[in-house]
């Protein structure tokens, strides 16, 4: 378990297991779940969040192995979107084709940072989105949590930065 995950409280995290027999309806179910969890998010921020979430979930369904799980983590000034799967193969950007290859580029364009943690039992691909609008009342009172971008790469305890960070 990495440091930021250990510091979370139950009211900071919403989690949804993805169905093992996932088909094309699973991303729609996840989008509906996320919209219900983020009712106070401004429309532009919600659109970016749903796009990032949709790409991470689609990648896990297409390239990952069950069990899969998605998490939304509320942190001061940002939202962390995490998707777990049991495949140890890292998520790697690839050249766009007619069959895909744009997902990680979209995630990078919409998020302030993204990366992954590969473990013995699978991986977590994550993206951070800066937020300007508050979440549901009370969610902004969390104590400061460590920021992925404030640690040097060797201090990330296995978390690899996959994309750019906002300076």
Query: How does pLDDT run across 101-110, given as a tens digit for each residue?
Result: 677 888 988 8
Parse the chain into domains and list their residue ranges: 13-161
Supply the pTM of this predicted model. Answer: 0.72
Average pLDDT, integer, range 62-70: 92
Q: Where are the beta strands (DSSP E) in the chain?
A: 13-18, 68-75, 78-85, 113-119, 122-130, 159-161
Residue identified by tokens 């659109």 is 47
Report the share of the chain in percent with pLDDT over 70.
68
Q: Which pLDDT does position 148 carry in this prediction?
A: 38
Across the strands, what pairs with 37? none
Residue 163: how many CB atoms within 10 A of its CB? Answer: 17
CATH class of 13-161: alpha beta
């Amino acid at each position: 378990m990495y440091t930021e995950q250990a510091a979370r409280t139950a009211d900071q995290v919403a989690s949804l297991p993805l169905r093992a027999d996932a088909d094309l309806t699973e991303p729609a179910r996840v989008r509906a779940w996320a919209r219900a969890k983020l009712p106070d998010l401004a429309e532009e921020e919600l659109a970016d969040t749903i796009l990032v979430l949709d790409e991470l979930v689609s990648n896990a369904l297409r390239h990952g192995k069950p069990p899969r799980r998605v998490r939304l983590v509320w942190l001061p000034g940002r939202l962390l979107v995490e998707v777990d799967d049991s495949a140890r193969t890292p998520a790697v950007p690839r050249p766009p084709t007619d069959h895909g290859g744009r997902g990680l580029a979209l995630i990078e364009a919409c998020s302030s940072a993204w990366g992954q943690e590969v473990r013995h039992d699978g991986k977590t691909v994550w993206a951070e989105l800066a937020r300007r609008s508050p979440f549901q009342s009370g969610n902004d009172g969390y104590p400061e949590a460590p920021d992925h971008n404030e640690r040097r790469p060797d201090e990330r305890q296995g978390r690899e930065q996959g994309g750019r960070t906002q300076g």
